[in-house]
A and B are shown apart, each in its own frame.
Chain A
Amino acid sequence: MEINVKYFGQFRDFTGKREESLEVADGITVEAIREHVRGIYPKIAAKEQVLVAVNGNFGSLDQVINESDKVAFFPPVSGG
C-alpha cells in the first residue's frame, strides 16, 4: 500500500522533502515504517530519536498503519 508521509524540522533538510509517498507492506507498524525510513535516509538513521506521529498523535511502536493515516516523522521538538 501507499502511505503519504510528512517530514518536519531537521528531517526536511535530511530528506530534501516536505512529504512523499512510500510503498510499504499492508499492516505495517509504526516501528517497521520507522525502520523503513531509517533505511532510506542515513542521516535520519544516525539520530538518537526519531519520532513518529499518526493522525496527530504519538504512535505506539506496535500500532498498525492504514493507508488513509497521516504519518509524520520528526526529531524531538524544541518549541517554547
Chain B
Amino acid sequence: MIKIQHEDIDVETVLESVKSPSSGGVVTFLGTVRDNAKGHNVEQMSIEVYEEMVYKQLEAIESEAQKKFGVHKITVVHRYGDLEVGDNIVFIAVAAGHRGEAFDACRYIIDELKQRVPIWKKETTPEGEIWVEGEKHE
C-alpha cells in the first residue's frame, strides 16, 4: 500500500497492517527530519510532491521489490508539507517469510525512492531556504 499524506504517520497501525500469519518478520525504515545537513543547521523542512507521479513510481517500486525478493506485504507512507525537526518523513514496512528478504526489500525501496520518486525537500536554515540537491538520476 502506498500513501502520500500531510498528517503524521501512524506507525503502529501500519505495522499491524503488514503482519500476517505466514510472515516471520517485519523490517521497517523511518526517515525523520534532521537538525543539520552538510554542516549547516536545519530549523524546518518543507516537502513538495508531484503526487500523481509519486503513486505511479512507488507502485512500480513496490511491485519490483515483491518480484525481486518475494516479500509478502509492503507499505510506504511519505509526508508532504511543512515539517519540524524530529518529525517523521517516510515510513516503509516490509513483511516477509524471513528477515533476509525483508531487509533487502526495505533497503531497495528506500534507495529507489531516493533516486526516482518525485519528492523534493527544502530546508529552512538560519541563512535562508535551501533546496536539497538530489542524487544524480541514472
Contact = CB atoms under 8 A, between A and B. Distances in A.
B53 A72 contact: yes
Interface of A: 6, 8-10, 12-13, 48-49, 51, 53, 56-58, 70, 72, 74-80
A68 to B, nearest CB: 15
Given A48-B136, A49-B136, A79 B120 contact: yes
A4 to B, nearest CB: 13
B133 A76 contact: yes
Contacts of B57: 56
Contacts of B110: 80
B15 interface: no
Grouping DSSP codes into helix (H, G, I), strand (E, B) and loop, the B interface class, with mixed when no group exceeds half, is mixed
**Chain A contact residues: helix, strand, loop or mixed:** loop
Given A10-B120, A77-B120, A78-B132, A72 B137 contact: no
B134 interface: yes
Contacts of A51: 137
Nearest to A12: B48
Contacts of A72: 50, 53, 118
A75 to B, nearest CB: 6
